[in-house]
Chain A
């Protein structure tokens, strides 16, 4: 990491024997690098837009599963299953499902009389398709975390609330949500960090396209380092900017969700 920091102050490239110290020039260049800005904005959009589904979908599933229903082992397994797949498998499967011509999704949409679209080639929907894919992929993981959190909430709190006449919604707002705060924090922080590092899904589904509509920071970094004259200096600078962004967000979140959860 520290070597990366040193590298970010040099003009290192593969094949260049001597690295000259260039001070902040790499960072300076990032300020003018519009593609870097675009990728930062895209990544931030992804992180923000995917947060609500990532917080809500697994929570809804976990609460339903926590009722102790029949088949719960099967259900848990079903929702967890996608998480056991590698990102390449997930990406290729969805690439096909979303294919504008031979993809099943568009076929059924057309059959239902709904407009078919080229989801991944349309700048307005491409990022949403990536979000959908990611949510599908990681929901199972967060579901398990939420289930563990839900089972940590003492039963008697609900019983006491029910005796006091609290209905389902009331106990959800007054007991479940506040007591899940540490779990929310974990999901939130992990997800945001993961979002800023998103690369695999994008690389397989759209390669950053159409245009640069889904280009993300890590992809830009990767291409700068390994496909565009091996500019390791610039790439290291990007990595440090990304790190700083993630750090700031994580600290903010800890601040935001800190506080006493006593009962």
Chain B
């Protein structure tokens, strides 16, 4: 009862495009002139396009320092968390199979597989 592969692919591509619409909307909005942002009917092509918003976020004197600092903070948090989580999880998981083996006679091995 398998649908032909082409049909399935087309269907999935359709779903994926629908799925990405909110993201596209945000991207399109970021390129619009401020005056054109709130407009009905919704415009999906940002024309006339502008990079002014990106310029403001990245280079305007009032914001640059802060977004730089924010990125630095986020980087420190994610790097630190990644290193610590990988390290501690690896240590814990290393001991896990031994416990699982002992428990295997009583409970199912598969219940340990992902827990």
Interface residues of A (CB under 8 A from B): 61, 64-65, 67, 69-71, 74-75, 78-79, 81-82, 85, 89, 93-94, 96-97, 102, 104, 107-108, 111, 136, 167-169, 181-183, 185-186, 254, 258-262
Contacts and interface: CB of A to CB of B under 8 A. Distances in A.
B9 to A, nearest CB: 5
Given A185-B115, A260-B110, A94 B15 contact: no
B114 A168 contact: no
B15 A182 contact: no
- Nearest first, the 3 A-B pairs at minimum CB distance are A78-B16, A104-B42, A261-B110
A111 B16 CA distance: 23
B20 A181 contact: no
8 contacts: A64-B8, A64-B11, A70-B9, A94-B22, A168-B2, A182-B115, A183-B114, A254-B111
A204 to B, nearest CB: 14
A181 B111 CA distance: 9
B108 interface: yes
A258 B25 CA distance: 43
B5 A69 contact: yes
Given A168-B1, A185-B111, A97 B8 contact: no
A97 B2 CA distance: 36
Contacts of B41: 107, 111
A93 B19 contact: no
A171 to B, nearest CB: 11
A97 B108 contact: no
A12 B15 CA distance: 52
A67 B8 contact: yes
A261 B114 CA distance: 13
B75 interface: no
B114 A186 contact: yes
Nearest to A148: B114
B42 A82 contact: no
Contact of A75 (B16, B25, B39, B42): B16
Contact of A93 (B5, B25, B39, B42): B25
The prevalent SS among residues of B at the interface is: helix
Nearest to A257: B111
A89 B26 contact: yes
B27 to A, nearest CB: 10
A152 to B, nearest CB: 9
A65 B8 CA distance: 9
Contact of B22 (A136, A181, A259): A136
B84 interface: no
Interface string B5-25: 100110111011101101101
Contact of B16 (A67, A79, A102, A182): A79
B90 interface: no
A78 B20 contact: yes
Contacts of B26: 89, 93
B12 A64 contact: yes
B107 interface: yes
Given A102-B40, A168-B1, A260-B110, 9 more contacts: A67-B8, A69-B5, A78-B19, A81-B19, A81-B20, A107-B42, A183-B114, A186-B114, A260-B108
B83 interface: no
A261 B108 contact: yes
Contacts of A97: 22, 25
Contacts of A104: 25, 42
A169 B16 contact: no
